[in-house]
């Protein structure tokens, strides 16, 4: 199925997840690409799909680093609390 852009040019296929054969090829070759999960109407407005992939990857990396930093702080706080607890309380499993 060939789709045309508003200027009459053929729309480049982005490997949307609607076609099972395309989904299988994406999983085997590239994994899931961020632009493949976006609605087709939004992709019609994008002129540079490769640039969009880089932007989505950058946002994903940024938020992934933020989440990693946050969970590292939580882990350190939990370990500090566990180390401050009396040993007999840790062994018995009872709380106050």
Residue with tokens 């499993």: 93
Q: What would the pLDDT profile of 81-90 be if each residue is shown by its tens digit?
A: 989 888 887 7
17 by DSSP, 3-state: which?
A: coil
Sequence ranges of the domains in the chain:
1-47, 48-88
Q: Among the listed ranges 42-46, 54-58, 74-78, which one has the minimum average pLDDT value?
A: 42-46
Beta strands in the chain (DSSP E): none
Residue with tokens 């880089």: 54
CB 70 within 8 A of CB 78: no
Residue with tokens 């296929």: 13
Under the banding of pLDDT at 50, 70 and 90, the label for residue 20 is very low
Give the chain's radius of gyration (CA, Å): 24
């Amino acid at each position: 199925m060939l789709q045309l852009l508003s200027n009459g040019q053929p729309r480049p296929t982005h490997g949307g997840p609607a076609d099972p054969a395309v989904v299988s090829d994406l999983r085997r070759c590239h994994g899931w690409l961020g632009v493949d999960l976006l609605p087709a109407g939004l992709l019609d407005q994008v002129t540079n799909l490769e640039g969009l992939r880089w932007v989505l990857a950058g946002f994903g990396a940024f938020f992934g680093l933020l989440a990693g930093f946050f969970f590292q702080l939580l882990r350190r706080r939990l370990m500090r609390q566990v180390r401050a607890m009396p040993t007999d309380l840790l062994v018995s499993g009872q709380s106050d």
